[in-house]
Amino acid sequence: MTPQPKASERGRRARWLWRGAGLGVAGVALMIGAFGVMQHWAAEMSAMALVPAMPIGTRPAARSSADYADAALWIARGEGSAQDPAHWLPRGADAPQPIAANVFFIHPTGHFDRFSWNADTDNPLINARSDLLVRGLASPFAGAEQVWAPRYRQATFGAFLTDRPDGQAALDLAYGDVRAAFDAFVAQADPHLPIVLAGHSQGALHLMRLMRDRVAGQPIAERVAAAYVIGWPVSLTHDLPRMGLPACDAPDQAGCVLSWQSFAQPADTATVLAAYARFPGLDGQSRAGSRFLCVNPITGRTASDAPASANPGTLVPDATLTGGRLVPGMVGAQCGADGFLMIGSPPQMGPFAMPGNNFHVYDIPLFWESVRLDVARRVGVWHAARPAVAAGRQADAGANPVRRWWQRWL
């Protein structure tokens, strides 16, 4: 189990992440405001404001798994140190339950510059935003033995608003980094432990491609206890069959995919549906009109609903965005017939809900404790079905103590 930082260390880390890196409320407002532009303005104006005007030019060299031997290319690299944002805990949260799994988490977009198609991984501001996103979105997975979250040359938000080849080239470059990081993760992480895959928004899009290329039809598929593909539509027809795992339709099911997109009532889903139709599925076909996956994070089932009283904890940020608290019984959820997750009346999460009552930014915080319980349960089910794995791991640790230490701390 990775060591947990003391409360005082967590507090210093929170202040460093929010203040010392210069992000603050203004930086977060910029990020959320960019999403709002897309719904309030015409498509042409959105493109003018957010899509880079210059061509992408000569693409940088593709990264390999060997490049990810560099610790600077990881936000979290398994060790769970005091500087690791993936191990932050909000007020009101108990210490995480130990989970015998390794997590690979892909953060969402924190790059909104229209002067570059892809972010540099040595940009302090972009890195601060990425750290912040990992802090709020990957922390439900902190109980895992190791959490890995790579830095990657993420595509700017404008890449999602254009049909120009430059936009797809930017996404391809970002995905290439993610794939190389995943290969490095697999090579270094404990081979006896199951894997949990998770990504949000742009991270979820890359995770879908990663599952198609690295999981579907491969032996590693047997090691995936769960895949959390959150904040990006997963077509039941054109995506899920290519990802190598079925949908999660029971809370005690392992080796399956969860996905949801959160909206309050009244919901305006037109913009998301338009983007859903514009991006082809993993099979290369149009996804227009196809149903997409919704797994209720409270129940762990598809096509289900749960009252707010069943939600064990929502992560609510404080007014200064320097911390947060866990509030039980705040938000319910229901998978609608259209595939969106409806959460009822808009909850008081802060000023950054998107137009149309789109709570995309809060897809994970709304169900922070539910996600934490869900991943522990699914990993437990995975292990229960494979008792020989635990025995093999114990034997390997006894016979190769140096190797086990190297794998954990490299």
| The predicted structure's pLDDT at residue 391 | 59
pLDDT band at residue 156 using 50, 70 and 90 as cut-offs: very high
Q: Are 60 and 173 in contact (CB under 8 A)?
A: yes
HSE (CB half, 13 Å, CA atoms) of 283? 14
| The predicted structure's pLDDT at residue 285 | 96
In terms of pLDDT, which residue wins out, 28 or 57?
Answer: 57
pLDDT band at residue 400 using 50, 70 and 90 as cut-offs: very low
- Give the angle 247-222-96 at the CA atoms, nearest 5°: 75
- SS3 assignment, position 404: helix
- Rounded Cα gap, residues 357 and 373, in angstroms: 27
- Rounded Cα gap, residues 310 and 99, in angstroms: 23
- Rounded Cα gap, residues 1 and 346, in angstroms: 38
pLDDT band at residue 18 using 50, 70 and 90 as cut-offs: very low
Q: In this model, does residue 40 exceed pLDDT 50?
A: no
Can you give 198-217 as a three-state secondary structure string? Answer: EEECHHHHHHHHHHHHHHCC
Q: Are 244 and 221 in contact (CB under 8 A)?
A: yes
Element (H, E) at 12: helix 7-15
Contacts (Cβ under 8 Å, ≥6 apart) of 266: 357
Average pLDDT of span 229-245: 97
Among residues 394, 100, 378, 110, which one has the least CA distance to residue 254?
378
Q: Residues 369-406, buried b or exposed e (16+ Cβ, 10 A)?
A: bbbbbbbbbbbbbbbeebeebeeebeebeeeeeeebee
Q: In this model, does residue 46 exceed pLDDT 70?
A: no
Average pLDDT of span 300-306: 94
Q: What is the pLDDT of residues 188-220, one digit of tens each?
A: 989 999 999 999 999 999 999 999 999 999 999
| Identity at 228, one-letter amino acid code | Y
| The predicted structure's pLDDT at residue 392 | 62
Contacts (Cβ under 8 Å, ≥6 apart) of 204: 106, 108, 229, 230, 231, 232, 259
Q: Are 298 and 268 in contact (CB under 8 A)?
A: no
Q: In this model, does residue 243 exceed pLDDT 60?
A: yes
In terms of pLDDT, which residue wins out, 19 or 182?
Answer: 182
Please state the domain extents for the chain: 7-409
Average pLDDT of span 241-264: 97
Q: In this model, does residue 258 exceed pLDDT 50?
A: yes
| The predicted structure's pLDDT at residue 45 | 46
Q: In this model, does residue 158 exceed pLDDT 70?
A: yes
pLDDT band at residue 52 using 50, 70 and 90 as cut-offs: confident
The share of the chain scoring above pLDDT 70, in percent, equals 81
- Rounded Cα gap, residues 374 and 147, in angstroms: 16
- SS3 assignment, position 225: strand
pLDDT band at residue 47 using 50, 70 and 90 as cut-offs: low
Q: What is the pLDDT of residues 355-385, one digit of tens each?
A: 889 999 999 999 999 999 999 999 999 999 9
Strand arrangement, sheet containing 305-306: 262-263, 341-342, 333-335, 305-306
Tokens of 405: 């230490």
How many residues in the chain? 410
In terms of pLDDT, which residue wins out, 138 or 82?
Answer: 138
Q: Are 55 and 166 in contact (CB under 8 A)?
A: yes
Kindly list the distances between the CA atom of residue 288 and the CA atoms of 3, 20, 283, 291, 294, in Å, as whole numbers in the listed order.
Answer: 46, 44, 13, 9, 17
